[in-house]
Amino acid sequence: MVVRLHVPASDAFRTFADPQNMPKINPSVESLQILPGAKPGVIRIATDVKVCALFYCRVLHQVQDMTVTPLSNGGDMHADVLPDQSDFRYGRADWRFRSIGADTQLQFQAEMEPAFWIPPVLGTWVVEKSLRRQAEETGTGIERLAKRAAKP
């Protein structure tokens, strides 16, 4: 997914890179906890996120090791899911924040393999659509929170 945020890349990246902002950015994040045990330069985060697709809702628990790399024109974040502590057999995500004029181009890519049953009626398409909606809400939330933080 690629979205344009109408805030400077440094503000968008700084807003998203602060794990405590996650519940403010996306209201589907029901809980967030920073955990010990990550190697130096990595932040270990546990989240519970409520995801709904049609009539089916589920709170997904995941623990991720996140690497945060600030850059002069934005920044990069990478997350690896820890399967033994999560509702996923596999997962990784990458966020790239880059300046495009006064705005930000946010590139988001993720791969996830659930370790739970998905009702066949829903299929992969509906679940993917729900996760895409979550990603779009996150982009909107980053923009909203970054604008609020930039106001004097």
Number of separate domains in the chain:
1
* CATH number of residue 71's parent domain: 3.30.530.20
Q: What is the tens place of the pLDDT at every residue in 40-94? A: 999 999 999 988 777 778 899 999 999 999 999 999 999 999 999 999 999 999 9
Q: Which helix (H) or strand (E) holds 52?
A: strand 42-53
Q: Residue 104: its pLDDT value, please?
A: 96
For the stretch 53-57, contacts whose Cβ atoms lie closer than 8 Å and that sit 24 or more positions apart, written own/partner, are 53/122, 53/126, 53/127, 53/129, 53/130, 54/122, 54/126, 56/119, 56/122
What is the residue range of 95's domain? 2-150
Residue 150: pLDDT band with limits 50, 70, 90 = confident
More confident residue, 114 or 70: 70
How far apart are alpha carbons 57 and 131 in whole angstroms?
A: 12
Residue 122 clears pLDDT 70, i.e. is over it: no
Q: Provide mean pLDDT across the span 13-42.
A: 94
Whether the predicted model's global pTM rises above the 0.95 cut: no
